[in-house]
Amino acid sequence: MKTISVQEITAVTRKLCMDVNYDLPGDVERALQDGLKREESSFGQYCLEQILQNCQMAREHQQAMCQDTGIAVVYLEVGQDVHIVGGSLTEAIHEGVRQGYEDGYLRKSVVAEPLFGRDNTGDNTPAVIHTEIVPGEQLRIMVVPKGAGSENMGAVKMLKPADGLEGAKKFILDTVRQAGGNPCPPIIVGVGVGGTMEKAPMLAKKALTREIGSKNTNGLYAKLEEELLADINKMGIGPQGLGGRVTALAVHIEYYPTHIAMLPVAVNINCHAARHKEIVL
């Protein structure tokens, strides 16, 4: 049994919120550099150069790489032998987000209620928290800020089993094509297949945090990831939608068993600022 205090959880969450917005993960930066080598369009090359330069400046100045510092999505993997003391785990996360966004000069982009007033909560809380109980005595906290430009372009559809592989591919490609230049390409495409209506988008979102270039362990899905990436990069959308070869840096698919009569498919798109950072306590 391991004991972790809520104060520690708040402190590390605060730090993660700041660091994740200043420091683009190395795999994403390398994928952008590789993209620059492949890009044929001069606009595309210019965009990629500017994006890479901005990423350096963000680190150097400890300033948010993008002004849309997102709504904070927080993944928690709580070991079943962990004992959290001193207060509420959920509150500790919200407090960490509150402090991180305030102290890190990050934009507060959360409205308290979506339909009527849409008044800003002023501190970027609440976070969206996904908690999983796992074996062991560790607590893993991953912060994934998600901006609206790319999140607004996602979609979920309950296909019929008869729609099959072709139907799923069509839905995924149509979603990306329709998004065009809006989600700040080059994008990362997260796909969730199977489960239920809420499970598929959860898989799609989590798929975005996989290391770029990693493949699904099931060879059939790994091949599908490759095929879809090639198809997307034939669309000509290019960096920022101004035309080019590098529309997506990766397609990551995750799947889950589903019902005999279901075929849920979800697509979650990430902009090139694919921010995620984690810590294990």
Which residues of the shown chain bind other proteins in the complex (CB under 8 A)? 40-43, 46-47, 50-51, 53-54, 57-58, 61, 63-69, 105-109, 118, 120, 122, 148-149, 152, 180-182, 184, 231, 234-238, 240-245, 271-273
Which C-beta is closer to other proteins: that of 137 or that of 231?
Answer: 231
Q: Are 149 and 67 in contact (CB under 8 A)?
A: no
Which C-beta is closer to other proteins: that of 32 or that of 76?
Answer: 32
Which C-beta is closer to other proteins: that of 44 or that of 192?
Answer: 44
Burial 223-254 (b: 16+ CB within 10 A, else e): ebbeebbebbbeeebbbbbebbbbbbbbbbbb
Distance CA 236, CA 215 (A): 24
Q: Are 160 and 168 in contact (CB under 8 A)?
A: no
- Smallest gap, in angstroms, from Cβ of residue 44 to other proteins? 8
Structure tokens at 262: 């279901």
- Smallest gap, in angstroms, from Cβ of residue 192 to other proteins? 24
Tell me the CA distances in angstroms from 121 to 110, 112, 118, one per residue in order: 6, 5, 9
Q: Are 97 and 145 in contact (CB under 8 A)?
A: no
Which C-beta is closer to other proteins: that of 167 or that of 243?
Answer: 243
Calculate the dihedral angle through the C-alpha atoms of 90, 91, 94, 98, rounding to the nearest 10 degrees.
-170
- Smallest gap, in angstroms, from Cβ of residue 215 to other proteins? 23
Element (H, E) at 280: strand 277-280
- Smallest gap, in angstroms, from Cβ of residue 20 to other proteins? 14
Which C-beta is closer to other proteins: that of 59 or that of 130?
Answer: 59
- Smallest gap, in angstroms, from Cβ of residue 102 to other proteins? 9
Which C-beta is closer to other proteins: that of 199 or that of 276?
Answer: 276
Provide the residue count of the chain: 281
- Smallest gap, in angstroms, from Cβ of residue 133 to other proteins? 35
